[in-house]
Structure 1
Amino acid sequence: MKALITWGGWEGHEPDKVAELFRGILAEAGAEVEVTDSLACFDDAEALRDLDLIVPVWTMSELSKEAAQSVSEAVARGTGLAGCHGGMCDAFRSNVLWQFMTGANWVAHPGGDGVRYRVRMVEDHELTEGIEDFDVESEQYYLHVDPANEVLAVTDFPTVNWYHAANGPVEMPVAWVRRWGHGRVYYNSLGHKASVIEHGPAFEMLRRGLLWAAGGKEEAGEVTGWQAAGNHY
């Protein structure tokens, strides 16, 4: 298994520590892991297609159209994509292809850090089997989410009485899987700090998610034609 972890962006999310946590998970599973703090790794489209897994840890920041297309084409051909919190679904806010591929974009965390909320498993799936509902004290992510996602876990809003509370209760996805072409995509909104995901059920969810996403390469054969008409943005 060959994996790429690239980290950077807003330092408040401890991207270096989260990247190291991910590296440890993948190395323990026997993966050959490259870790970089540069987005230049997305410039080599052929190298990306040779990977089993791409793990972005980049809150905010900017990604070029060409780099996003290179990642998209690699994932469409079977390379997995997995990540957490702002490092994947608050990355590259101006890049709509990235948002489409990952399945959501962050819009708010009412109450900020330190909100106590429950994460509930909602899908009978290999990635959640045996994991019980659990409480988290962290940021509670409100996301604009693709309805095509296969949601594995949710949290209930509103927890904090803010402007959104006037809309009444909603179940907000916390973790999901999806497909992008022949590639597997996994996302988990936990991980504001590395300490939130370094142990317990949150860690186990992410460990399974990373390995699941990396396991899709063997399913993908020779893939062509993913750059169909209408891919302009």
Structure 2
Amino acid sequence: MIKNALIFQGGWVGHEPEKVADILAGILKEENFIVNVTDTLETLEKEDLTAYDLIVPNWTQGTITDEQLEPLLKAVSAGTGLAGLHGGLGDSFRMATEYQFMAGGQWVAHPGDNDVTYTVKIKDQDHPLTKGLADFQVKSEQYYMHVDPAVYVHATTRFPIADGPHQSNGEVDMPVVWSKKWGKGRVYYCSLGHVAEIVRMPEVVSLMRKGFTWAARKENEKGVG
């Protein structure tokens, strides 16, 4: 069945939003989505977002107006899926707390910056969002997130690795991949993907493929897990 997806890309250029959006669009097209990629947030207020089965934010930082945010919140609540990665979903619109509420978390730090080698640990290899995936290593930013306790965690990473004042708190397992609901809509997040090179990793491509198809609009389904 063909579905419709919207990617809105932009924000901080260090995350290579255009290149990442192109990779994500390619994954979606392989899964029979018709994809609309836009580089303006005005699309959120000018189009009927409920016509999309999936919306993919790829916009780090930046500012969103109430006129742009409200249609997005309402579309997801009505059943449109939301899925994204790294700062494109987890560090968008820092002043928009309701957006963060919907997303399930917000980036707050990456100790060690982009030179940290860390393990992504898959929690349940039988779950549809992680089936067939084993634990793997990444050398990139290790995202420390403030996370909604309501999310369903699918993969984690262990902190601390890099030095910093957070070390005095001891070891913690930080969510890397999670899912949740927002009204009738499904929300999927993966913290990997600092630049296009990381997004192209086979494991990240697989995670996003599974996340996109899972989050896209479903009819008459209940529950998240």
TM-score by length of 1: 0.91
What CA deviation, in whole Å up to 9, does each residue of 1:86-129 have, x standing for no partner?
00010000000100000000000000002100000113411101
Paired residues in the alignment total: 219
Task: Kindly state the Cα deviation for residue 167 of structure 1 after the two structures are TM-superposed.
Answer: 0.4
What CA deviation, in whole Å up to 9, does each residue of 1:180-233 have, x standing for no partner?
00001000000001111213212101111011111x34237xxxxxxxxxxxxx
Aligned residue in 1 for 2:23:
21
Ranges in structure 1 where 5+ consecutive residues have no aligned partner: 221-233
The answer as to whether partners of 2:27 and 2:205 remain within 8 angstroms in 1 is no
The 5-angstrom pairing of residues 209-224 of structure 1 reads 209-214=211-216, 216-219=217-220
In structure 1, how many angstroms separate the alpha carbons of the residues matched to 2:196 and 2:143? Answer: 16
Aligned residue in 1 for 2:44:
42
In structure 1, give the amino acid aligned to 2:101.
F
Is 1:187 aligned to 2:194, yes or no?
no
In structure 2, give the amino acid aligned to 1:18.
V
In structure 1, how many angstroms separate the alpha carbons of the residues matched to 2:151 and 2:38? Answer: 29
The 5-angstrom pairing of residues 53-68 of structure 1 reads 53-68=54-69
In structure 1, give the amino acid aligned to 2:69.
A
The 5-angstrom pairing of residues 1-233 of structure 1 reads 1-44=3-46, 47-123=48-124, 124-214=126-216, 216-219=217-220
Report SS of the residue matched to 1:88: helix
In structure 2, how many angstroms separate the alpha carbons of the residues matched to 1:219 and 1:37? Answer: 33
RMSD: 1.3
What CA deviation, in whole Å up to 9, does each residue of 1:152-202 have, x standing for no partner?
000000011201011000000000110000001000000001111213212
The answer as to whether partners of 2:123 and 2:155 remain within 8 angstroms in 1 is yes
Task: Kindly state the Cα deviation for residue 134 of structure 1 after the two structures are TM-superposed.
Answer: 0.1
In structure 2, give the amino acid aligned to 1:10.
W
Counting aligned pairs with the same residue, the percent is 50
Task: Kindly state the Cα deviation for residue 130 of structure 1 after the two structures are TM-superposed.
Answer: 1.2
Moved over 3 A (4+): none
The answer as to whether partners of 1:78 and 1:219 remain within 8 angstroms in 2 is no
In structure 1, how many angstroms separate the alpha carbons of the residues matched to 2:70 and 2:101? Answer: 12
Aligned residue in 2 for 1:231:
none
Task: Kindly state the Cα deviation for residue 83 of structure 1 after the two structures are TM-superposed.
Answer: 0.3
What CA deviation, in whole Å up to 9, does each residue of 1:12-66 have, x standing for no partner?
0000011001110111111111011110111036x10111000011000001123
The answer as to whether partners of 1:182 and 1:219 remain within 8 angstroms in 2 is no
